[in-house]
Structure 1
């Protein structure tokens, strides 16, 4: 039986989050980006100092998904001034939903998204928003299926390349 548990992360989960981050980012984007850009991004974004800063930020939270006590993905949310773009201080940003490739299609991402929606509703957020690369078809389909709509774009720098992220949002407290 495939059972998934979601637990709030703490600083003791730092290395787990780092491993999932690097593996998932590489699995998802290595085929369509240069090895140097992937390596630089992983080194800059998922080093222990950067992740410690994110984990200890009181306006961010991480939740790890486990299957049979094995970490298989995580959710990172930001609110208030931790949002990567302050569009609305009453919004909640999904900064990352990362699921190991071997667990795609097993509803892990859905459970992590549902967790974010629950939190947004509890905090009476106006909406949830996120940025997703315009060429990440799997993620785009997932968010559209869950009711997210595109409202803007922004530039995401990956090494020496500018990429376009679609900004998407979901109203959660109508």
Structure 2
């Protein structure tokens, strides 16, 4: 298996938007109304929004390539870019998404390891993320990787309030 992880730049905004729409839609469209999905996709993955996030030095995006195809991506946040108030020792994994056709090849694990390496390089002691309470596959993956549920918060999919579990892992 040939995989490469590369940092995204502003020049990758259109590709990031495309993979964001695809992976988020594939992951959540079955459990949400089309109206709420469209509202969320339009808000979260609008090109100007993604460009703003790419330009923020406290947020980092990475594409993972399987052979020569963009297969998924990672977004991590530190400092004030974190979506929840967190201390200076924390790194948030905001997004790990892998296209359906590339799942089952260990790419999610590679992206998680990339996030852990970034956290270690930045001398962070904890990593955390939010996972929708109904995303059984993701919950099982993160539990297997040593994350524990520490709290929860509201997440709005369009006009529907959903609950995300906050899962945390202490780094060695």
Distance 2:65 2:39 in 1: 28
- The secondary structure found in structure 1 opposite 2:96 is strand
1:47 counterpart residue number: 46
* Matched positions, count: 172
C-alpha deviation, 1:125, in angstroms: 0.4
In structure 2, how many angstroms separate the alpha carbons of the residues matched to 1:61 and 1:34? Answer: 30
Residue 83 (structure 1) aligns with: 82
TM-score, reference length from structure 1: 0.97
Answer yes or no: is 1:62 the counterpart of 2:67: no
The unaligned stretches of length 5 or more in structure 2 are none
- TM-score, normalised with respect to structure 2: 0.98
Show the counterpart of 1:150. Answer: 149
Deviation sequence 1:86-141 (CA, Å, 0-9, x none): 22122000000011011111101000000000111111102000000000011001
RMSD: 0.8
3-state SS of 1:167 partner: strand
Contact 2:90–2:127 under 8 Å retained in 1: yes
d(CA) in 1 for partners of 2:15, 2:71:
9
- 1:30 alignment partner in structure 2: 29
| Structure 1 stretches of 4+ moved >4 Å | none
